[in-house]
Amino acid sequence: MDLNEKNLAVRLAGKRIGNNIHFYSEVESTNDVLFRLACDGAPHGTVVIAECQTKGKGRLNREWQSPPGCNIYASIALRPPIEPVYAPQITLMAGVAVADLLSGYCNGGVTLKWPNDVQIGGKKVCGILAEMSASSGDSVDFVVVGIGINVNIKKNDFDESIRNTATSLVEEAGQNISRLDLAADLFAKFDDLYTRLLDSGFGSIKDVWLSYCDMVGKQARVIFNNGIESGKVLGIDDFGALVISDKNGKTKRVIAGDASVVKG
């Protein structure tokens, strides 16, 4: 069955995530569309999904390649009863949801790269971008979680600049994947883990995230706006920050940036 609003509505009827679907043939960015809807009161669980994005958003103002008809570009609105300082946990939770989902299609090789990349065989297959609105320091109004998964895009159709660092499910699994099944399963898995996060805390999510992460114990470099931090990756803390030990043995928290393992 095709990925469209009608078929999704049937699959997601009565679900908490996807109970309110906005399906578009083309948007600039699903995150931007849903952010506006959330500002206007869109309820928890609202989903925006598009066949194509003309200005798909990655982290650090990068563009996310979003050709039509082959991938998943979706954003989910959440209204979590948490303080803003805990919002980064949601990004990591989303990563675990995607990693669990994709592991069912690929036998091994699925890893998580802090803070928001899902990889297969060291190549990026999914990016996650969470954007928050908070009217005060005490509570979150809403969080929009954007998820882009490379599903049926072929290697030669990737932009040349990322062709050797990106991959897709069809390339890794060797067969076309039903985007309808994948999307429905994604929202179900996301809801399960979101419920676990709120009911049981970040501890169990953190443990699963670390089991997927292949950076722990390795030397890494984190690039951010004001400079670079380097050191041995010790793990993540309860706020979702990357914890590293620098060359002097001093432990540091890194709350944002682009992390990569230093080879050699």
Q: Are residues 164 and 241 in the same domain?
A: no
Q: What are phi and psi of 172, to 5 degrees?
A: -85, -35
Residues 236 and 179 in one domain: no
Question: Are 133 and 178 in the same domain?
Answer: yes
pLDDT of 60 strictly over 60: no
The length of the chain, given as a count of residues: 264
- Find the mean pLDDT for residues 186-201: 97
Residue 84 and residue 47 share a domain = yes
Same domain, yes or no: 38 and 149:
yes
Does residue 115 have a cis peptide bond before it, meaning omega lies within 30 degrees of 0?
yes
State pTM to two decimals: 0.94
43/83 same-domain check: yes
Same-domain pairing of 201 and 236 = no
Residues 187 and 64 in one domain: yes
Q: What is the pLDDT of residue 61?
A: 62
Residue 264's pLDDT is 58
Query: Are residues 108 and 41 part of one domain?
Result: yes
Residue numbers of the domain that contains 252: 219-261
Q: Which is it for the CA torsion 71, 41, 83, 192, positive or negative?
A: negative
Domain boundary among the residues 197, 212, 227 is at: 212
| In the chain, % of residues over pLDDT 70 | 97
Q: Indicate if the pLDDT at residue 1 is higher than 90.
A: no
Residue 89 confidence (pLDDT) above 60: yes
211-243: pLDDT as tens digits: 999 899 999 999 877 788 899 999 999 999 999
Residues 192 and 160 in one domain: yes
Residue 59's pLDDT is 60
Q: Into how many domains does the chain fold?
A: 2
CATH code at position 195: 3.30.930.10
Tell me, yes or no, whether 238 and 188 share the same domain: no
| Residue 234 belongs to domain with CATH number | 2.30.30.100
Looking at residue 56, its pLDDT comes to 84
Same domain, 158 and 257: no
What is the band of 51 on the pLDDT scale with cuts at 50, 70, 90? very high
Sheet holding 20-24, edge to edge: 20-24, 46-50, 72-78, 142-149, 123-133, 117-120, 110-113
**Pair type for strands 72-78 and 258-261:** unpaired
User: Is residue 65 over pLDDT 70?
Assistant: yes
- The tally of CA atoms less than 13 A away on the side-chain side of residue 77 is 27
